[in-house]
Structure 1
């Protein structure tokens, strides 16, 4: 059973992640390295939101791997979003690729493929992207997909200002971190979706209660009224209910 976690503010959680030992030290044995990732997994799975989960991932990556900057891009409704980055430059690189639809981030997310760019100064697969990141001082990049058995979750991007920065050990550690992050992000998303669904049901129930009291309707007819207004106004049922609760009036 996963250990329960004490309540921390986001700032306290950030400090706790930075205090975790890193697996990159050469004097760590397999058991010690496994313990480091086990402790990190507890922190990731205990994060109360997707944002705090990915923030913990990039902060740990910055400590554990030979990178200058790190970021996570998540696939949201088929499009990438950038909820966590250690430097605005990373978000700029991500958004530039999203706008153009090309680059290692796009390919890694689409094809679930790890991409290592040893030196952006000589990279030829994406010349425009190479020129962009080189102008920002980035010389090597490692993009690792975040995936579950069901779908693509996103990409963990690692950036260094020196060429050929990422060793085979760095890549192996990045893959382990990405696996933990994939499951943690998927779990956090599921919990957030469940919480939103519960909130929506409560809101619809409140709106139905208002209609039942005001117009002497039963539950089925009150729900039918909400659904009809939702369809006619092309508005989500939850939003119709929210407006009724807030204003005591139906849309339009």
Structure 2
């Protein structure tokens, strides 16, 4: 009779990373780990580590999509991936753009024979990537970006890998959304404090009340096409330079 290893044993850990039929526990551990990270870079780095191990790929990247379909490489394990993003932006076609436009998953079995995006595929083959798999990162209905995996071997990714990638991407999107909301909230609080400091400086310097001081800040922001927070920062910085001991 074959002995079943303890989940915490070294043998069990090896099976978790290499066995196709035991990924459930592996992904559970991944989910707990990803949700523990406190910042976007930490979360993304952890996602890339798990992605490379869970689907046995050479490299991985997380790409965010911003307004007007602008793509940003948040993190990658190979600088050559940047060339693939640039090529897609240049020719307005490629697997990441397909996912950004609503496709949940893209699988490229061999970049030397794939005919869907010839410019992108030839670039990928030239930098040494023969296989590619990508899944969409989304929270609620909002597409955040994509999780992309690459390998030098053709036909590297299986249907099981696709399912694993979807589970990983879902947890990653939830974790990233939570971290982004937390960071945005912190920035909003910091901005309110900064604007309050600038208002206080204007009130003291020009004998203004609170509403009038805010109106001065707002009008300068609009007239100069500068964010309100940046206007407040300039006023606070000017005060500090004028009064270095304060």
1:26 is matched with which residue?
19
| Deviation, structure 1 residue 42 | 2.6
* 2-structure distance, mates of 1:179, 1:121: 30
Describe how 1:37-186 pairs up with structure 2 within 5 A: 37-77=27-67, 78-186=69-177
Larger radius of gyration: 2
Which residue of the other structure, out of 202, 218, 242, is the alignment partner of 2:209? 218
Aligned residues of 2:135 and 2:146 also touching (Cα < 8 A):
yes
Q: Is the 8 Å Cα contact of residues 20 and 160 (structure 2) preserved in structure 1?
A: no
Distance 1:188 1:98, change over 3 A: farther
What's the CA shift string for 1:108-165, capped at 9, x where partnerless?
Answer: 1212321111111111111111111111111111111111223101111111111110
Do the aligned partners of residues 36 and 152 (structure 1) sit closer, same or farther apart at CA in structure 2, a change above 3 Å counting?
same
Deviation at 1:185, TM superposition (A): 1.2
Determine helix, strand or coil for the equivalent of 1:59.
helix
Q: Is the alpha carbon distance of 1:192 and 1:113 closer, same or farther for their aligned partners in structure 2, counting shifts above 3 Å?
A: same
CA displacement at 1:45 relative to structure 2: 2.1
Instruction: Report the CA distance between 1:27 and its aligned residue.
Output: 7.3
Distance in 1 (alpha carbons) for counterparts of 2:90 and 2:14: 37
Residues 1:193 and 2:184 aligned together:
yes
Calculate the TM-score normalised by the size of structure 1. Answer: 0.84
Partner Cα separation in structure 1 for residue 19 and residue 189 of structure 2: 48
User: Equivalents in 2 of 1:81, 1:149: separation in Å?
Assistant: 21
Report the aligned-residue RMSD: 1.9
Q: Does 1:235 align with 2:223?
A: no
Structure 2: distance between partners of 1:41 and 1:164: 27
TM-score under structure 2 length normalisation:
0.86
Quote the residue 2:6 is aligned against.
none
The gaps in structure 2 that reach 5 residues or longer are 1-12, 241-246
Instruction: Decide whether the 8 Å contact of 1:117 with 1:141 is kept in 2.
Output: yes
Aligned length: 227
For residues 29-68 of structure 1, what are the alpha-carbon distances to aligned partners after superposition, in whole Å with 9 as ceiling and x for unaligned? 4xxx444333322322222221221111111111111211
Shift of 1:21: 7.1
Shift of 1:179: 0.5
SS of 2:146 mapped into structure 1: strand
